[in-house]
Structure 1
């Protein structure tokens, strides 16, 4: 299904995204490496064995990207002009390799762009949940979206 245009969204609409993703240790190592994040809590199993978690934590920015990415096919695929920002991002539970993440999205607000005719701003709340239905990530994202072609 292609992404939705600005006019296709309604405030309060909830998307329960079908695609889920089990995260791996390699995801964590690669993402941390690609983003130059050498934090031992993500990449050093020996160090992590001595922490309260006992194993590496998934990089939270990877988790954030995954939660938003899981929403794209149902909402913004091919119709996003740009992400405008994310606010109120929280990670209430840790994510570990082997966890399966799913995402749900609620449309929080809509407004036509004042400076860009044919476009509008959609505010989404994205919630990421693990296989135990625990919230692992929540964020509010503003996206500049295409309006339907005339």
Structure 2
């Protein structure tokens, strides 16, 4: 497993995730369609031309999902019992087709579970940047992480 066990999640640890992802028109249209988000700002190029952006805006829920997904291999793959929640989600700059997203994660807090002896609660802060080094998404995520198995 490549994910971190609770013991690996030390406060202040920063991970620059290796995977980057260029967002495509297909990503945006498919995600918006699958989630029934028919906002013309996401799926109607003619409508979007008259918006403040002048072109379609990538669905922010797709972006949040991408940010969380990019972090999995190096943080939670095989070592999490589940997400407990997201908070403080922000989208300070828009994302458009062709933008390449990279993500950095910091461990903000880690404590053993009070009700379970097999896990701890870890708070992650994810920051996504585009190719121009502009922040496009920040999110605080809390996860229930496995304690390292006894040998």
Q: TM-score range by the shorter chain?
A: over 0.9
TM-score (norm 2): 0.97
Q: Structure 1: where are the runs of 5+ without partners?
A: none
| Partner-residue secondary structure (3-state), 2:71 | helix
- The one-character-per-residue Cα deviations of 1:27-55 (angstroms, maximum 9, x if unpaired) are 00000011111100100000000111011
Rounded to whole Å, the distance in 1 between the matches of 2:32 and 2:117 is 39
RMSD: 0.8
Give the length in aligned residue pairs: 150
Q: Which residue of 2 aligns with 1:24?
A: 24
- C-alpha separation in 1, matches of 2:94 and 2:132: 12
1:74 corresponds to: 74
What is the 5 A alignment of 1:29-48? 29-48=29-48
Q: Deviations over 1:65-104 (max 9, x none)?
A: 1111111111111111110001111000000010000000
TM-score, scaled relative to structure 1: 0.98
The 2-side partners of 1:31 and 1:116 are apart by 36
Corresponding residue SS for 1:65: helix
Q: What do residues 106-126 of structure 1 show as CA deviations (whole Å, max 9, x unaligned)?
A: 000001111111100100000
| Aligned equivalents of 2:57, 2:143: Cα separation in 1 | 29
